[in-house]
Homo-oligomer: A and B are copies of this chain.
Amino acid sequence: MHLLIDGYCENKELLEDEEHLRQVLAEYPGRISMTRISEPYVIRYDDCEPEEWGISGFVFLAESHIAIHTFVEQSYVNVDVFSCKDFDTDVAAEDLRKRFKMTKSRVSLAERGWSPPGARSENPSPFKYHGA
């Protein structure tokens, strides 16, 4: 399952806080019973148009990955939690919205554990849309 969250956060200090991002990546996998298999990687990107700068972070999980990108001047943050195993996506979405103090968000799910046609009788569309 792949949880995608696109949200707005009015707290710009949080969106530029590399240590906060590193802590989320370090601690959050364990909260949803996932196994972190790397250190968190965090990078600041400001070699760009002034409105596009932000910080990005990534961590490898045994189950796949978590990636987070912020766009500070746009008050915008993207979060991906991709796991080849099921997890409680409602809990994760609510937790991550809180950790980034999102005031508005769109939460979507992509089913990634795919079997090709013929491997099983139904192959539904991979996406569920949870609205704005």
Contacts and interface: CB of A to CB of B under 8 A. Distances in A.
Given A41-B60, A125-B127, 20 more contacts: A6-B112, A37-B45, A38-B41, A41-B41, A45-B62, A52-B84, A56-B64, A56-B65, A58-B65, A64-B67, A64-B69, A67-B67, A78-B112, A104-B117, A108-B110, A108-B127, A117-B132, A125-B129, A127-B127, A127-B129
28 contacts: A4-B110, A4-B112, A4-B126, A6-B112, A6-B114, A37-B43, A37-B45, A37-B47, A38-B41, A38-B43, A41-B60, A43-B60, A47-B62, A64-B67, A67-B82, A69-B84, A71-B84, A78-B84, A78-B112, A80-B80, A80-B82, A104-B116, A108-B110, A117-B132, A123-B132, A125-B129, A126-B127, A126-B129
Nearest to A109: B127
A127 B127 CA distance: 7
Interface string A1-20: 01010101000000000000
A114 B47 CA distance: 23
Q: Give the oligomeric copy count.
A: 2
Interface of A: 2, 4, 6, 8, 37-38, 41, 43, 45, 47-48, 52, 56, 58, 60, 62, 64-65, 67, 69, 71, 78, 80, 82, 84, 104, 106, 108, 110, 112, 114, 116-117, 123, 125-127, 129, 132
